[in-house]
């Protein structure tokens, strides 16, 4: 028969790191305690996020100033921009490690990873941000831009419809991104010419 202390015991066990077996020198196994869980550190997360955002702003400013550059100058600037985005991404990684509930950190980790071409990490980060805040308009819009690059046009449409209801200004940002993507004629995995044409017609009507 369970005692009245059973629920608190379950709660305690849920918070206790799980031990695991590791091989010993004799070919057997010994039980080793799991490493202690680190509590969230919002103050450190905020400081690290701020440093990352400063790196991001500098990289973005350099990118905007380089419009029209050609040849070696354009290549060197692109390398400098990517280096700045990489430093920013490292800070955002550290920020969410310090506080996994920081939706802004996950969002910016998604953004910098997308800009650096790491679409897998980008999607995971956006999903984390939206799991914490499903109506987070900036993350919805940023993730939709990733969907454009990866050929998920149906998901782009859904994101636009969602933003149109909850945040029309971000819906406008996404529409501009969709128009720019179509104008650039960048290829997207699995998107046929017919699908692209259908999507272009849909964008023109939004």
Q: Which domain holds residue 180?
A: 135-206
Position 34 in a domain: no
What angle do the packed helices 137-149 and 119-132 form, to 10 degrees? 150
Cα separation, 60 vs 125, in Å, equals 20
Has residue 19 been placed in a domain? no
Report yes or no on 22 lying in a domain. no
Q: What is the pLDDT of residues 128-160, one digit of tens each?
A: 999 999 999 999 999 999 999 999 999 999 999
DSSP-based three-state secondary structure for 96: helix
Identify which of 152, 56, 192 has the alpha carbon closest to the alpha carbon of residue 178: 152
Q: Does any domain span residue 141?
A: yes
**Burial bucket for residue 151 (CB in 10 Å: 0-12, 13-18, 19+):** middle
- Under 8 Å between Cβ of 51 and 108: no
pTM of the model: 0.79
Total domains present in the chain: 1
Q: Has residue 7 been placed in a domain? A: no
Q: Is residue 162 part of a domain?
A: yes
Predicted confidence pLDDT, tens digits, the chain (206 residues): 444 443 443 333 333 444 444 455 555 545 555 545 567 899 999 999 999 999 999 999 999 999 999 999 999 999 999 999 999 999 999 999 999 999 999 999 999 999 999 999 999 999 999 999 999 999 999 999 999 999 999 999 999 999 999 999 999 999 999 999 999 988 899 999 999 999 999 999 99
Establish if 191 belongs to a structural domain: yes
Which DSSP symbol is given to 30?
Answer: E
Closest CA to 156 of 141, 134, 138: 141
Name which of 203, 153, 156 is nearest 183 in CA terms. 203
Q: Assess if residue 184 is contained within a domain.
A: yes
């Amino acid at each position: 028969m369970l005692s009245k202390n059973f629920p608190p015991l379950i709660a305690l066990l849920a918070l206790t790191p799980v031990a695991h077996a590791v091989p010993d020198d004799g070919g057997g196994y010994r039980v080793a305690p799991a490493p202690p869980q680190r509590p969230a550190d919002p103050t450190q997360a905020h400081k690290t996020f701020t440093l990352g955002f400063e790196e991001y702003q500098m990289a973005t400013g350099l990118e905007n100033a380089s419009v029209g550059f050609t040849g070696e100058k354009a290549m060197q600037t692109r390398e400098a921009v990517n280096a700045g985005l990489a430093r920013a991404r490292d800070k955002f990684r550290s920020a969410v490690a310090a506080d996994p509930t920081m939706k802004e950190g996950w969002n910016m980790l998604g953004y910098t990873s997308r800009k650096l071409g790491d679409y897998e990490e980008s999607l995971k980060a956006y999903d984390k941000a939206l799991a914490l805040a499903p109506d987070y308009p900036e993350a919805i819009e940023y993730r939709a831009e990733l969907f454009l690059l990866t050929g998920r046009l149906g998901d782009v449409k859904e994101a636009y419809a969602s933003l149109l209801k909850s945040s029309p200004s971000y819906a406008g940002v996404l529409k501009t991104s969709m128009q720019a993507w179509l104008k650039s004629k960048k290829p997207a995995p699995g998107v046929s010419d017919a699908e692209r044409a259908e999507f272009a017609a849909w964008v023109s009507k939004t």
